[in-house]
Amino acid sequence: MNKQYVIKYQDEQIIVVEKLAGIGIYDLVNVLGLKHQFLVLTPCPKAMREGLVAFAKTKESLQYFKKSGNRVRFTFVGLCIGKFDKSEFTINDTLSGREAVTKVKVLNTSRSNSVGYVTLVELTCGDNFIFCSQQFRRHLYGVGHPIIGKVSCTKKLKNHKNKLALSCVKIWCQSIDNNCTNMVDVQVPRFITYIIEKETEYFDKRKMSSSIYDNKQQTFLDYVFFVNKYCLIPKTSSETIVNVAYDLIKSSDHGDNHFKILDCGTGCGCLLLSLLLKSKDNNCINKIKSSIGIDVSEGALEVAKRNAENLLPELDVTFLNLSFEHITGLNYNSNFVICNPPYLTSTMAKKTLDYDMLKYQPEMSYLVPGTDDLLFYKQVATNILKGNSRIKHYAAIDYEKQKNMKRRKIQNRDTIKGCSNSIVTLVPLHLILEVPHYLVARCSKMLLEVGYAEIKVHKDKFGFDRCLSCMYLP
């Protein structure tokens, strides 16, 4: 069996031991033949995986050491989350009603895959050290740089078992019968340096894969799209929205050149372009009159344009730099809207298994600002109705009548504003949304409230609810 401790110093009053991984503090008390666990002098001993532990040998020597903090002093190292803007500072805060001082000295800062940076700090207590085992944890937590670990006032790190990354590496002690000060020190424990190495390694790997991600090609349905750092990589589950949209177009019995498609948040253009490609491949492209993709990201629009030129050079697809807030039907009179908007709140994003994958992609492509995950769904669902001259002017017409007529043409030059061509086909507005399964119920409710009808839920090929289709019936 490997040795689990090394005695570093002892005299009549004190024993200083280097505790190694695998031995608990109570076992250490036993193997050292000490009478009582309360004789331990080092703060945080139970949570400490490796490091120095000092024990007073008797109750009297415990009193002696505790009476004045100067008789035994400790230096710890802790691995904290984040990067500090000062190399040395002091935290002065009351703990359990008493003043407690922690001196912090930055030893090393390195990159981390999961939290950006991790910083190794040296921690010492001020003169009025109160032997509070949680002092370092609470103080560092309080200044926004919690120590890594899974006990209270710490923060877990994704790639590690989350043992408390805090360890005592130096002890000074001065016993009664020994007038000189004794100092014992050990190296920063291997488990802490290992976390630093691993975090750097993961960070470098991630950097490498994010550069590989530039100008990557991604197959979506049967078509190959260019993607880069400005857009979301098309997901297989998003094929559902294209299939639902395509089925609607294919099965519609309206006449030629009928659908005016608007793709909100087009990204690399994968939804819009594969819908057009699929319609072309199946001889129903003639049902599509126009197609527009909008996005707030200029970078994504550049990629979408490039994909359109490669995949559909013969078609006139328009891409506009526009936000969901500013889409109104005014300019487009779209009657077929598809949209896969960002819906993850930052809290939800951190919880998802795909978060690492998502981090290579622009936040704007998956994060919704604030806490309302339906924000963009509401904006799209309501704004596309605004200023849409067909919807505005036909709102009073009975939809049943219209359905029976299948393709009804109205001649009304005076009342239909915005339609210079007075022959207008009456159709409802189709809205097809990609919605994660946990938002389906709330999103359907919202759509009903806005005035949409015939709301249907569609599953992706993995069996999850993935898509909502509905109609606005004028």
Ligand X SMILES: C[S@@+](CC[C@H](N)C(=O)[O-])C[C@H]1O[C@@H](n2cnc3c(N)ncnc32)[C@H](O)[C@@H]1O
Question: Interface with ligand X by CB under 6 A: which residues?
Answer: 231-232, 234, 238, 265-267, 270-271, 295-297, 300, 323-324, 340-342, 364-366
Residue (390 or 466) nearer to ligand X, CB: 466
Residue (366 or 377) nearer to ligand X, CB: 366
Residue (43 or 341) nearer to ligand X, CB: 341
Contacts of 250 (CB under 8 A, 6+ apart): 279, 282, 284
Q: How far apart are CA 32 and CA 64, in angstroms?
A: 21
Contacts of 442 (CB under 8 A, 6+ apart): 374
Residue (291 or 340) nearer to ligand X, CB: 340
Q: How far is the CB of 366 from ligand X (least distance, A)?
A: 6
Rounded to 5 degrees, what are φ and ψ at 438? -75, -10
Residue (324 or 394) nearer to ligand X, CB: 324
Burial class (CB in 10 A: 0-12, 13-18, 19+), 211: exposed
Q: How far is the CB of 296 from ligand X (least distance, A)?
A: 4
Q: How far apart are CA 217 and CA 343, in angstroms?
A: 25
Cβ(266)–Cβ(308) below 8 Å: no
Residues forming beta bridges with residue 453, ordered by sequence position: 471
CA distances for 300 relative to 30, 173, 260, 343, 459, angstroms: 65, 63, 22, 18, 27
Q: From the CB of residue 92, how many other CB atoms can be counted at a distance below 10 Å?
A: 11
With CA atoms as reference, report the closest residue to 380 among 412, 321, 418, 340: 340
Query: What count of Cα atoms within 13 Å lies in the side-chain half-sphere of residue 419?
Result: 24
Q: Record the tokens describing residue 120, joined without a space.
A: 């190794």
Q: How far is the CB of 452 from ligand X (least distance, A)?
A: 20
Q: How far is the CB of 413 from ligand X (least distance, A)?
A: 35
Residue (48 or 276) nearer to ligand X, CB: 276
Q: Angle at CA 158, nearest 5°, toward 152 and 163?
A: 45
Rounded to 5 degrees, what are φ and ψ at 318? -100, 135
Residue (229 or 280) nearer to ligand X, CB: 229
Q: How far apart are CA 174 and CA 177, in angstroms?
A: 9
Q: How far is the CB of 232 from ligand X (least distance, A)?
A: 4
Residue (55 or 324) nearer to ligand X, CB: 324
Q: How far is the CB of 257 from ligand X (least distance, A)?
A: 24
Q: How far apart are CA 287 and CA 247, in angstroms?
A: 12
Residue (184 or 262) nearer to ligand X, CB: 262
Q: How far is the CB of 453 from ligand X (least distance, A)?
A: 25
Residues forming beta bridges with residue 347, ordered by sequence position: none
Burial class (CB in 10 A: 0-12, 13-18, 19+), 376: buried
Q: How far is the CB of 271 from ligand X (least distance, A)?
A: 5
How big is the chain by its Cα radius of gyration, in Å? 33
Q: Record the tokens describing residue 324, joined without a space.
A: 């969901």
CA dihedral over 189, 195, 196, 201, signed as positive or negative:
positive
Q: How far is the CB of 297 from ligand X (least distance, A)?
A: 4
Q: How far apart are CA 443 and CA 85, in angstroms?
A: 44
Q: How far is the CB of 436 from ligand X (least distance, A)?
A: 11
Q: How far is the CB of 244 from ligand X (least distance, A)?
A: 13
Residues forming beta bridges with residue 423, ordered by sequence position: 411
Q: How far is the CB of 354 from ligand X (least distance, A)?
A: 12
Residue (56 or 300) nearer to ligand X, CB: 300
Read off the amino acid at residue 304.
A
Rounded to 5 degrees, what are φ and ψ at 150? -120, 25
Q: How far apart are CA 384 and CA 391, in angstroms?
A: 10
Residue (199 or 460) nearer to ligand X, CB: 460
Residue (51 or 329) nearer to ligand X, CB: 329
